[in-house]
Amino acid sequence: MKRTFNSTFKNPIVGGLATFAILLFSTQYIAFQKYLINENEQKKEINIQVSIIKEKLQSLVKFSYSATKSLAYIVERNGIPSDFDDIAIELLDRSKYFDVVELVDANGFITHVYPLKDNEVIGFNILNSIEASSGALATIKKKDFFIAGPVNLKQGGIGMISRQPIFIDGKFAGFSAVVTKMSTFFNDLNIDPSNDNRFNYQLSRVNLETGKEEFFLKNNMASLKEYAVPIEMDYGEWKLYVVPREIPFNTAIWFSVFGVVISILASWIVWYFIGQSERLNELINSKLIEQESQLKLIHESSKEKIRKSEMLYRSLTSNAPVLIFNTNEAGECTYVNVEWFNYTGMSFEEAMGYGWHNALHPQDKERVLHEWQTAVLTKADFKSEFRFKGKNEKVTYLSAKAIRLVDVDKSIYGYIGIASDITDRVNQEKELLIYKNNLEKLVDLRTEELNESKEALLNLLEDLNTQSIKLEKETIKAQSADLMKSAFLATMSHELRTPMNSIIGFTGILLKEFAGPLNDEQKKQLLMVKNSGQHLLGLINDILDISKIEAGKLNVSKAPFNYLSTLENTIEFLSPQANKKGLQIIAEFSETKITLNSDERRVEQVVLNLISNAIKFSNQGKIIVKVDVNKNVLTTQIIDNGIGISKEDQNKLFMPFIQLESGLKRSHEGTGLGLAICKSLVEKLGGKIQVTSEIGKGSNFAFTLPL
């Protein structure tokens, strides 16, 4: 039931409608109450008006009574006064609503009127007037004060006439009368500032003879019967109408409208949010269903996996050629495989729990049990070697190992163990032990013999040790000397070059003759200085290079450049030197342009060195500079027809500080460093350099560089 209720309320339309109904009912009820309160207040106000007017009317009646009584009294005592007008003025002063004062004789004729103006009624017989007569007759009949009206006044308008009968000597002698025009009275009410002009008025009186309601004012308020209030006054049945000029708007209506709007809004919100939560619920439900089905899939596939792995495990354990067992966390056996039965001859039931220990060899039983229980208690892995004694009395040596089975929450839920047959190994070890014992005896014998020769050997070793220490010291000395040499040479070369700059520079400047003209002899000598300087600088640079190479500090920086133009420049530079010796340098290039990514200065240095050598060691013929490209390898050959190099010398050629003809005849200047530098540079740039030569026929220096 509860569910039905809940779901009914969760229906957005029902929820919305219910909210609408509840809110609408309550707001409208409140609005209605408010309406009644407003209404009541208005009625109260009208009642106040009514009672004010009633009071005023009553006082008007009293005044009329006293005024007419006074006049009647004068007439009764002194007869018709001669100074009627003065008396009338005095009477009119008593109330501002008195319009006219009259005297009527016993026959109904009006004898005196004040004021006369607009009141040409003297001689008019009031008893003949239908309207006036009934009131007048009543007065005569009752012989008492009576109010007549509403009466259409002669002077215009509707009035109320108060009449007092006059009796002289007990005999009816006429009326004294005061006429009050009621419109004046009500106009005055409206002028009253406290009244705000908020109301219209009407006064009526029921004609006693006709029973008809007659009105004192000429307005249409008479039709608004609902505003008529009967007022208690003498001389007839009076009704007062107090009609609000503007029927005030009852603000409760606004409240009602507001209530409707609120109800609609609130019910819409309820409808929307219930709908929203329903939609959300639906979404969640569909997601849940989706997930559930996915989970089911996963569950099923994992179940399948588990089943397969179980099968694998079962077939593995039952067919394994080792003993496999499984225990719970208390160390009680829960499973053993087929092989286990083969070894022990026990049945499955016999092995379960702690039954397995009956399979242990009696000598091992206590130890192994202790080991096993210790492992279980300390939650450690188990490892042991022991013997099984089967039911057929067969003893086997086993090596067993059991590892803890750990759950996801890291608690141990059992052990799985394997035991393998090591009987063969144990037997072999036993045999080996016997062997070993024999051997030891033999060894002891031999050791004695050896000890004797050992001493002799020790002496020899000591000698050797001293020798090797000596050698080591010398090697270190030599190595540091080498390093020191390189450092010294590098520093020296640098220091040497600074003055060389001055020598070469100033010689050059002098030769430019800025300071004045030189004679031929001076020029010749200065040129010699300049050439020597340049030669010396070349030597220094060579020494610097080789010392850097030996210290491993030679660096190259690669950048692309036009190789052939570098080569041509070098050839051009060296041509004068060659021509001087009658030699010709010929370029044989296979390509028209070769862009080489290498260290231009260093490559130039190599080429310059090789061609210079060729010039130096040739006295005739041509020097050919040949360039080929093959599979990304650039080969440059410098071929001369010079003196050539012998096979033995070719091996020493690229070693530093070696000039082949050293000592004997120094016909060729140079440090002997050039080729060693070339070799190092070419290798540093990723290439190779080699020479082929024949004494007396010439040489071919070839080097390669990667493109």
Partner 1 sequence: MKSTVLIIEDNEQNMYMLSYLLQKNNYNVIEAFNGKDGLDLAHKHHPEIILIDIQLPDMDGYEICNKLSHNGLPKSTVIIAVTSYAMGGDKEKAIESGADGYLEKPINPDTFVNQMRSIINEKGK
Residues at the contact surface with partner 1, assessed by CB under 8 A? 497-498, 500-502, 504-506, 508-509, 511-512, 514, 537, 541, 544-545, 554-557, 559, 599
From CA 616, how far away is CA 525, in angstroms rounded? 24
Compute the least distance from the CB of residue 500 to partner 1, in Å. 6
Compute the least distance from the CB of residue 634 to partner 1, in Å. 21
End-to-end CA distance of the chain: 94
597 SS3 class: strand
Residue closer to partner 1 (CB basis): 173 or 504: 504
Closest listed residue to residue 695, CA positions, set 636, 639, 664, 649: 649
From CA 19, how far away is CA 24, in angstroms rounded? 8
Residue closer to partner 1 (CB basis): 22 or 556: 556
Residue closer to partner 1 (CB basis): 71 or 544: 544
Residue closer to partner 1 (CB basis): 354 or 506: 506
From CA 7, how far away is CA 405, in angstroms rounded? 51
Compute the least distance from the CB of residue 601 to partner 1, in Å. 8
* Tokens coding 352: 């379960």
Instruction: Provide the CB-side half-sphere exposure for 348 (13 A, CA).
Output: 7
Residue closer to partner 1 (CB basis): 504 or 583: 504
Q: Phi and psi (nearest 5°) for 72?
A: -60, -40
Rg (CA), the chain: 75
Compute the least distance from the CB of residue 670 to partner 1, in Å. 18
* Tokens coding 337: 């495989």
Residue in the structure block whose two tokens are 């070419």: 682
Contacts of 158 (CB under 8 A, 6+ apart): 149, 150, 151, 152, 181, 182, 183, 215, 216, 217, 218
Residue closer to partner 1 (CB basis): 5 or 514: 514
Compute the least distance from the CB of residue 511 to partner 1, in Å. 7
Residue pair 14/5 in contact by the 8 Å Cβ criterion: no
Residue closer to partner 1 (CB basis): 453 or 557: 557
Compute the least distance from the CB of residue 654 to partner 1, in Å. 20
Compute the least distance from the CB of residue 620 to partner 1, in Å. 32
* Tokens coding 562: 């036009």
Residue closer to partner 1 (CB basis): 505 or 706: 505
Compute the least distance from the CB of residue 584 to partner 1, in Å. 26
Angle between the N-to-C axes of helices 2-10 and 252-319, in degrees from 0 to 180, rounded to the nearest 10: 120
Residue closer to partner 1 (CB basis): 189 or 536: 536
Residue closer to partner 1 (CB basis): 498 or 592: 498
Beta strands at 199-206 and 689-694: parallel, antiparallel or unpaired: unpaired
- The string of DSSP codes covering 101-135 is EEEEETTSBEEEEES-TT---TT-BGGG-HHHHHH
Compute the least distance from the CB of residue 520 to partner 1, in Å. 19
Residue pair 108/127 in contact by the 8 Å Cβ criterion: yes
From CA 417, how far away is CA 384, in angstroms rounded? 11
Compute the least distance from the CB of residue 485 to partner 1, in Å. 18
